[in-house]
Amino acid sequence: MFMLIEMRILHVSDVHGNMGAAEKIAGKAVEIGADLVVVTGDLTHFGEIEDAEMILEKISESGRQVFFVPGNCDPRALLNWNPSNASVVNLHLRSVEFMGWEFIGLGGAVGKYGTLIEFTEDEVESMLSKATPRKPGFIFISHSPPHGVEVDYTGVKHIGSIAVKKYVENYKPHLMLCGHAHEGRGVIKIGETTVVNSGPAKNGLCSIIDLGGDLEVQLTTLY
């Protein structure tokens, strides 16, 4: 059994370079009293490091801790980029503790879409083999959703990762936050893991997650 510590997360994904959305994210974090803002990829729309940095700097004006992973539409160099702003943390293939919770991140997506950060399933499986949680009840942050479920469905096909789904099934995170499939907004369960796709922030979508004795998810908007 792990100790449950109360925390409020504002989860957003798929900003796609929308500075207006970034400003709304910062305002929403203050409005709801978030402890943490999590951005699950596609900060830019085929942009540069500088574009991602501007988005993250705007979000960090909330005064909240910000965790992010790159998405498939972000520059590949973002995978290894370390922000100079201490309140912004790149979680790609890192384990970071915040308010007593362990966070593990994975950037990019599986597939061949002609985007900037794409991996094969074998590559994702290899990367995740090095991302072993230190304790139970961790939080998994991934741009790519698990494959074959509602939150990775575009209305036409499933675009999530099989390796990501296996990782969730094997390690049983308490919570998984993802994006990538804009049409897959929703909350599902894989075993005991709650999986949230908040939808694209560029369209004003987000979620509020309260962790503690219970886990509560509210799909809402930035406005």
pLDDT confidence of residue 136 = 84
Please tell me the predicted confidence (pLDDT) of residue 212: 84
Structural tokens at position 187: 């909350």
Give the pLDDT confidence of 97-134 residue by residue, as tens digits: 999 999 999 999 999 999 999 999 999 999 999 999 99
Ordered DSSP codes for 2-50:
-----EEEEEEB--TT-HHHHHHHHHHHHHHT-SEEEEES--SSS--HH
Average pLDDT over the chain, rounded to an integer: 96
Q: Per-residue pLDDT tens for 10-39?
A: 999 999 999 999 999 999 999 999 999 999
Q: Which residues pair with 97 in a beta bridge?
A: 102
How does pLDDT run across 47-62, given as a tens digit for each residue?
999 999 999 999 999 9
pTM, rounded to two decimals: 0.97
The stretch 192-199 carries a mean pLDDT of: 98
Is CATH 3.40.50.1580 the classification given to domain 7-221?
no
Contact yes or no for 103/97 (Cβ under 8 A): yes
SS3 2: coil
The owner of tokens 């961790």 is 138
